Structure 1
């Protein structure tokens, strides 16, 4: 995340995520990407309603909180002076399916944007597309579904996780360069920017793939039927080691520990996006201008209860822990309330009334 004003403390304990800032795009590009992301969200809403699986509601909340927590952990990329973090689209798709996974990612990104000013409000449509669309739909359909349609195995989970994460990180990074090109950001020449972005996000994608595989292998051992294969029914599958409830509790506990404690160990190095910009311009900051940018910044200033994942006017580590726990809880709340607000399981209610 890049902002016009960035606190020096973020360079010593960085909870910073690869989200585009408003300064990187124009209102026209922002509006276009909002429209694209809204179209994908609308299609996902229809598909989730058609699937009519109310049992996914708790999983959407828990997995959304887990991805939120995991994104707080920037891991160092050795020998580069850069860091990366989990995006989560592939992970969510592997458990929830692409449509519910995409909607859950929107909830995560919305909370990060409004509650923590992480990623620009003007750039939210870009961030949804770059971080959620590719992971949930490209990685989900082209790689994950194709690998799992003839049966799930540990080897397939590991290969599909790494391949899907690498592909979707490359697509997301390239989209960032295209969006800045379309916005006329002259400080970031397209060829030079792409040459910086793609290699570092290849490394980040490999690490994200390994992390995703580790989580999914746990889920496969604990509750194998939770792994999404793209098939209408689960089919014959072996018995898991944990109940559905216990599996969700373990993941929820892992999210809480990660957000409230492990997040304090996040890498101090700039993430792949910041690192690329700094290599080209000499600074991780690009100034924004224009009425739309000013308005978006004012809105975020008003909604951000814990800006940059800290207490206002404080560098206390407790602020990061509180931000992590509060953010995870907010993601669960948004996901669950959205399921009821959009009546994802209204078909079942209608059938019961007809009886």
Structure 2
């Protein structure tokens, strides 16, 4: 559900950047106040890398000619807590935008809000956590995951419609656009919810302390080893990015499919200084546009998709790790200064 720049007016795009920026700043402040324990830092990095890789796999929605991919917001929130999850998914979306030209640069604020702020800061605390209050089990994790992902995607899809409406995109009339966006993202949400529930159940069976820590905000106990679950998630990330991504559906995703259903084309055109500047920046930074080599070659050691999956996952791992480490160190320095 990555929006392109043409779906937004510059004023709405900047307003959404401000809204997402405020949410990120609030999340950083919250993490500094509660402190991100060192045991959560590798989870933040590996889980972010996994979401990057998993987003490359578009799965076909039968009988529609459309496809979908996981958003990952609820998955990250269940593993990390809402605030760290927003930072992790934001790292994923920034890397996708700048280095793989997935989603518009002007639309980055909207994409972070729709795919990050809504699931991590609203749906996770208001729906997922209450559903888990009576105890954790595989069945309850699946139920909470499906319900939360469906609601998050419905809200995110409706936010896209409202953002295009507010932008004055007359090619996408509200009633026609919303009647396509909501049902297709309901189907996508059901699939993503089941995938999310399966991954969370796997982690819970290996290390229930991870989900308990995210839900309570408490640190993971010092004596709990994370090595096995981190190794398993890292292996799953590598397989997903390097192998499974090559089997992604070629059908347009839910947003592109909805735009095509209304306009007859999966892309809209936009002109103006803001759009041209944003496109120019992406052309310079995106070294693997559309998750492929900029200059495809038959002599490449691995396919462009596999290379993009590996490189993007490593970049997300590094970015999430650096963000978490910087916040954690800042908190420690602040506490040390306060005690001095």
TM-aligned CA distance change 1:345 to 1:153, over 3 Å: farther
Indicate the residue corresponding to 2:236 in structure 1: 254
TM-score, normalised to structure 2, is 0.93
Indicate the residue corresponding to 1:3 in structure 2: none
Stretches of structure 1 lacking an aligned partner (at least 5 in a row): 1-17
Indicate the residue corresponding to 2:181 in structure 1: 197
Indicate the residue corresponding to 2:82 in structure 1: 98
- The 4+ residue runs of structure 1 with deviation greater than 3 A are 232-236, 345-355
What are the residue-to-residue correspondences of 1:132-281 with 2, within 5 Å? 132-228=116-212, 230-233=215-218, 243-281=225-263
Contact 2:5 2:104 in 1 (8 A): yes
TM-aligned CA distance change 1:312 to 1:145, over 3 Å: same
Alignment partner of 2:27 out of 44, 51, 54: 44
Indicate the residue corresponding to 1:305 in structure 2: 287
Stretches of structure 2 lacking an aligned partner (at least 5 in a row): none
Contact 1:180 1:188 in 2 (8 A): yes
Contact 1:77 1:204 in 2 (8 A): yes
Instruction: Provide the alpha-carbon RMSD of the alignment.
Output: 1.9
What are the residue-to-residue correspondences of 1:12-51 with 2, within 5 Å? 18-51=1-34
TM-aligned CA distance change 1:350 to 1:290, over 3 Å: closer
What are the residue-to-residue correspondences of 1:69-148 with 2, within 5 Å? 69-148=53-132
SS in structure 1 opposite 2:163? helix
What are the residue-to-residue correspondences of 1:321-336 with 2, within 5 Å? 321-336=306-321
Contact 2:67 2:249 in 1 (8 A): yes
Contact 1:170 1:198 in 2 (8 A): yes
State the distance in 2 between where 1:97 and 1:232 align: 7
State the distance in 2 between where 1:211 and 1:273 align: 20
State the distance in 1 between where 2:250 and 2:241 align: 17
Indicate the residue corresponding to 1:338 in structure 2: 323
Q: Choose 284-293 or 331-340, whichever is displaced more.
A: 331-340
TM-aligned CA distance change 1:252 to 1:36, over 3 Å: same
1:291-347: CA deviation from partner (whole Å, max 9, x where unpaired) = 000000000000001011000132767111111100000001111122233x32434
1:138 deviates by: 2.0
1:131 deviates by: 0.6
What are the residue-to-residue correspondences of 1:57-68 with 2, within 5 Å? 57-68=41-52
Contact 2:242 2:309 in 1 (8 A): yes
